[in-house]
């Protein structure tokens, strides 16, 4: 089958392209911006890419058009497809019909931690000899790709609550029909499509409804929102984590640069995990991954050992380099809760004596709308200094960060922001850059500027 993917350079649709190509389909695609690294990855797979959405692409004449959720009515190619009455479907629906049918799907849902937890779970299964398929919205260090077909019946998927397509406003994850479902956490996000938290809880309730009786839901017991979701109906097996009666961690210590902790289930100690990633949120993600792997037949002791060899995920507290004695760390955090846990995790690892210079780009749709601007000062409280890029915002970042007084600085010019950070940074500091985009290449700009300062 020949499929042509609209919006192919997004992480999710690019993953579908890779899986479809591996499955033997002819794959082509288009996007508004065709650029590395995704364009390079796709072309390396032999996938032909077209820049833009010109209606002339109708002449490509695929068997099926697969439409990403970046495409809306008014898109020239989509309008031509509709007028020509060509067959089309969404990415999640294609995946459900062509790949996931008959698979043991392990879906990881939640506002935060989906990519890391799904990567942990895929690695555990891989390390224990299962060779799972997976589609992850990031790049795991332990795999050369973010998506693959795999061998056997197990398939791990990052299960996003964002909507499916312009013609299907359900959350993506309702298409996946998991046998194992991890509910990591649930907060208000995606203010561009959801009016409030209750609307997102309803989508999670719809996900719960798709899990069979023989399936298992693994839920964060510390989240009141998830408790409300499960109170609306639960038809499958259920295990909690961060719960004395379920999965929990204890005896937490930093051991040789590792986040070390005991793993307990129903009060019984199952082993000691040594994880490269710091922070309580990483420990919670690990518990969820161990619990999900156990449902798929992996003994907890084997899962714990595998996590000791887990390399992490790119853009999750990823060290980008060091110059003039200053380390530069990259993280995807873009929601106030994720920002808070990221800073707290880094603080846990560095201790109280090392300064953290937090650098933030409010880039997600929710952050651009200013919906959560009032939560930013509290989320950044453990940082010693805060630098925020205020370019392109319709709200006043300086006013939002005013409670932090002189600890916070806002610049609307990226060059001035870099100069301010470099002027402040001293040997022994750590610069923590947080954005869900490329942030204008700020990481390398900081390293170059720091090196130049040191050389002068």
For residues 406 and 397, what is the distance between their CA atoms, to the nearest angstrom?
A: 14
Is the sign of the CA dihedral 132, 138, 144, 145 positive or negative? positive
Range among 294-298, 326-330, 371-375 rated most confident: 294-298
The reported pTM is 0.82
For residues 288 and 121, what is the distance between their CA atoms, to the nearest angstrom?
A: 9
Q: Count CB atoms within 10 A of the CB of residue 374.
A: 11
Can you read off the two tokens belonging to residue 336?
């106030």
Give the pLDDT band of residue 294 (cuts 50, 70, 90).
Answer: very high
Helical residues (DSSP H) of 128-270, grouped into ranges: 197-209, 224-231
Q: What's residue 36's pLDDT?
A: 64
Exposure string of 377-404, with b = 16+ CB inside 10 Å and e = fewer, is: bebbebbebbbbbbeebeeebeebbeeb
Q: How many CA atoms lie within 13 A of 174 on its CB side?
A: 18
Range among 79-93, 135-149, 329-343 rated most confident: 79-93
Torsion of CA 102, 108, 109, 113, to 10 degrees: -160
Q: What's residue 50's pLDDT?
A: 94
Name residue 249's beta-bridge partners: 263
Torsion region of 266: left, alpha or beta (phi above 0 gives left; psi -120 to 50 gives alpha): left
Nearest by Cα to 209 from 168, 162, 177:
177
Q: Tell me: the pLDDT tens digits for 125-143?
A: 999 999 999 999 877 778 8
Exposure string of 276-304, with b = 16+ CB inside 10 Å and e = fewer, is: bbbbbbbbbbbbbbbbbbbbbebebebbb
Q: What's residue 350's pLDDT?
A: 81
Can you read off the two tokens belonging to residue 28?
């082509």
Q: Tell me: the pLDDT tens digits for 155-179?
A: 999 999 989 999 999 999 999 999 9
What is the chain's mean pLDDT, rounded?
90
Q: What's residue 332's pLDDT?
A: 79
Question: Mean per-residue pLDDT for 315-329?
Answer: 86
Residue of 428 and 189 predicted with greater confidence: 428
Q: Please check the confidence at residue 365 and state whether its pLDDT lies above 70.
A: no
Torsion region of 317: left, alpha or beta (phi above 0 gives left; psi -120 to 50 gives alpha): left
CA 325 to chain centre: 30
For residues 93 and 300, what is the distance between their CA atoms, to the nearest angstrom?
A: 33
- Domains of the chain and any CATH numbers: 2-93 (3.40.50.720), 102-307 (3.40.1190.10), 318-455 (3.90.190.20)
For residues 135 and 19, what is the distance between their CA atoms, to the nearest angstrom?
A: 8
Question: Mean per-residue pLDDT for 204-216?
Answer: 97
37 prior amide bond cis, ω within 30: yes
Q: Tell me: the pLDDT tens digits for 426-440?
A: 999 999 998 877 788
Q: Tell me: the pLDDT tens digits for 34-82?
A: 766 677 778 888 899 999 999 999 999 999 999 999 999 999 999 999 9
Q: Which residues, 6 or more positions from 71, have their beta carbon under 8 angstroms from its beta carbon?
A: 6, 7, 53, 78, 165, 166
Residue of 292 and 276 predicted with greater confidence: 292
Is the CB of residue 157 less than 8 Å from the CB of residue 106? yes
Least confidently predicted of 10-14, 52-56, 186-190 = 186-190
Can you read off the two tokens belonging to residue 44?
């390396």
For residues 222 and 188, what is the distance between their CA atoms, to the nearest angstrom?
A: 16
């Amino acid at each position: 089958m020949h499929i042509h993917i609209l919006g192919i350079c997004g992480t999710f649709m690019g993953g579908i392209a890779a899986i479809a190509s591996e499955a033997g389909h002819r794959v082509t695609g288009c996007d508004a911006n065709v650029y590395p690294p995704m364009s390079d990855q796709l072309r390396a797979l032999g996938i032909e890419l077209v820049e833009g959405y010109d209606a002339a692409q109708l002449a490509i004449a695929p068997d099926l058009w697969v439409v990403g959720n970046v495409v809306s009515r008014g898109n020239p190619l989509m309008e031509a497809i509709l007028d020509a009455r060509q067959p089309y479907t969404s990415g999640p629906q294609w995946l459900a019909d062509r790949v996931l049918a008959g698979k043991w799907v392990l879906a990881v849902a939640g506002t935060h931690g989906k990519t890391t937890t799904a990567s942990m779970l895929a690695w555990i299964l891989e390390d224990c000899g299962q060779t799972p398929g997976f589609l992850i919205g990031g790049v795991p260090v332990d795999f050369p790709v973010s998506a693959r077909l795999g061998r056997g019946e197990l398939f791990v998927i990052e299960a996003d609550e964002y909507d499916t397509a312009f013609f299907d406003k359900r959350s993506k994850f309702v298409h996946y029909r998991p046998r194992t479902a991890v509910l990591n956490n649930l907060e208000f996000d995606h203010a561009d499509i959801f009016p409030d938290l209750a609307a997102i809880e309803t989508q999670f309730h719809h996900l719960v409804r798709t899990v069979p009786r023989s399936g298992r839901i693994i839920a964060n017991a510390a989240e009141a929102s998830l408790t409300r979701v499960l109170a609306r109906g639960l038809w499958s097996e259920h295990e909690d984590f961060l719960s004395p009666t379920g999965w929990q961690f204890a005896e937490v210590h930093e051991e040789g640069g590792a986040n070390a902790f005991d793993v307990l289930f129903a009060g019984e100690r199952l082993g000691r995990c040594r994880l490269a990633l710091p922070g309580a949120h990483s420990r919670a993600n690990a518990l969820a991954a161990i619990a999900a792997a156990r449902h798929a037949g992996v003994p907890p002791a084997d899962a714990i050992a595998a996590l000791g060899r887990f390399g992490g995920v790119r853009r999750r507290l990823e060290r980008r380099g060091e110059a003039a004695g200053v380390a530069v760390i990259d993280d995807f955090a873009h929601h106030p809760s994720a920002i808070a846990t990221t800073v707290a995790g880094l603080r846990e690892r560095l201790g109280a004596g090392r300064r953290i210079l937090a650098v933030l780009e409010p880039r997600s749709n929710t952050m651009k709308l200013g919906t959560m601007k009032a939560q930013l000062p509290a989320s950044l409280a453990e940082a010693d200094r805060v630098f925020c890029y205020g370019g392109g915002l319709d709200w006043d970042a300086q006013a939002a960060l005013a409670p932090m007084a002189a600890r916070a600085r806002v610049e609307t010019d990226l060059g001035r922001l870099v100069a301010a950070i470099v002027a402040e940074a001293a040997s022994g500091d750590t610069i923590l850059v947080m954005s869900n985009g490329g942030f204008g290449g700020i990481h390398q700009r900081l390293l170059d500027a720091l090196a130049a300062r040191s050389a002068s």
